[in-house]
């Protein structure tokens, strides 16, 4: 398996639906969505469970920076995780190398090497969050937002390595019963997330999971952030990427 390839064996019908409708009502199943086969769903569930076990063992904070290679090595070395099977490794490679436009994600691929790593010297852990930000513009922008709005603003997700993006995307794919189109309307597939290049998510202290819903756009914190004028949202309401509106997702150039 190599760059530009990927044999997911997805299936879908030929009927097309307005892309804007899909991003507005992103958690529905549409007739032209792409679905994994029944056999692939079995592999999906086993590999997603293995990655969840790895995250639990490594710890959420450290897992955010974990590379694909280190994930595989951890699985091999810790019985509580268990080594990835040949079928699972092939599935993971297929997910990475497949062109996500096949199933509706229209964003650019920002990580082109499956074995890429995030250097610890390039990131800084944000106190009280369990998350990291890249030094430079991402860290400076977050600190500026927090200074200008106040400490009711929290970092809810920062740097994500491939292992973390796999965990999030495959967990959503399990939830959607193998519907990769539906999963990609909520989460960038592995290799396509700008969290690996500097983007980060913010929320209101105390809102918990609601920070990852439209509810965040109704907060005073969000309105103040937009009024600042120097904050851009990666996935706005009319974005062309096939992704739901994410008012919490801060864009770094």
pLDDT at 233: 96
- Has residue 3 been placed in a domain? no
- Has residue 5 been placed in a domain? no
| Percentage with pLDDT > 70 across the chain | 94
What mean pLDDT is predicted for residues 92-98? 98
pLDDT tens-digit profile of 208-232?
999 999 999 999 999 999 999 999 9
Here the CATH number for the domain that contains residue 217 is 3.30.1380.10
pLDDT tens-digit profile of 157-216?
999 999 999 999 999 999 999 999 999 999 999 999 999 999 999 999 999 999 999 999
The conformation of residue 11, written as its DSSP 8-state character, comes to B
Write out the residue range of the structural domain in which residue 129 sits: 19-110+125-250
pLDDT tens-digit profile of 7-49?
676 555 445 677 788 999 999 999 999 999 999 999 999 999 9
Question: Could you give the CA distance from residue 246 to residue 214 in angstroms, rounded to a whole number?
Answer: 7
Overall domain count for the chain: 1
pLDDT at 58: 96
| Local confidence band at 1 (pLDDT 50, 70, 90 cut-offs) | very low
CA distances to 24, 182, 224 from 68, in Å? 32, 24, 38
pLDDT at 6: 58
Q: How many CB atoms lie within 10 A of CB 182?
A: 24
Choice between 5 and 17, residue whose per-residue pLDDT is larger: 17
- Has residue 9 been placed in a domain? no
- Has residue 13 been placed in a domain? no
- Has residue 49 been placed in a domain? yes
- Has residue 223 been placed in a domain? yes
pTM of the model: 0.94
- Has residue 102 been placed in a domain? yes
Tell me the Ramachandran region of residue 191: left when phi exceeds 0, alpha when psi lies from -120 to 50, beta otherwise: left
pLDDT at 227: 95
- Has residue 14 been placed in a domain? no
């Amino acid at each position: 398996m190599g760059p530009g390839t990927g044999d997911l064996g997805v299936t879908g019908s030929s009927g097309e639906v307005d892309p804007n409708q899909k991003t507005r009502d992103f958690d529905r199943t549409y007739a032209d969505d792409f679905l994994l086969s029944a056999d692939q769903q079995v592999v999906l569930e086993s590999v997603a469970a293995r990655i969840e076990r790895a995250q639990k063992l490594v710890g959420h904070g450290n897992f955010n920076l974990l590379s694909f290679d280190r994930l595989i090595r951890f699985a091999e070395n810790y019985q509580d995780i268990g080594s990835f099977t040949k079928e699972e490794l092939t599935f993971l490679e297929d997910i990475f190398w497949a062109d996500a436009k096949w199933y509706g994600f229209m964003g650019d691929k920002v990580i082109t090497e499956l074995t890429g790593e995030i250097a610890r010297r390039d990131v800084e852990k944000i106190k009280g969050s369990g998350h990291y930000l890249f030094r430079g513009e991402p860290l400076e922008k977050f600190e500026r937002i927090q200074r200008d709005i106040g400490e009711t603003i929290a970092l809810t997700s920062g740097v994500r390595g491939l292992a973390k993006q796999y965990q999030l995307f495959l967990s959503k794919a399990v939830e959607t019963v193998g519907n990769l189109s539906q999963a990609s309307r909520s989460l960038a597939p592995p290799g396509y997330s700008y969290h690996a290049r500097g983007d980060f998510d913010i929320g209101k202290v105390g809102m918990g999971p609601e920070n990852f819903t439209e509810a965040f756009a109704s907060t005073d914190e969000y309105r103040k952030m937009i009024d600042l004028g120097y904050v851009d949202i990666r996935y706005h309401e009319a974005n062309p990427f096939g992704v739901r509106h994410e008012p919490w997702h801060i864009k770094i150039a």
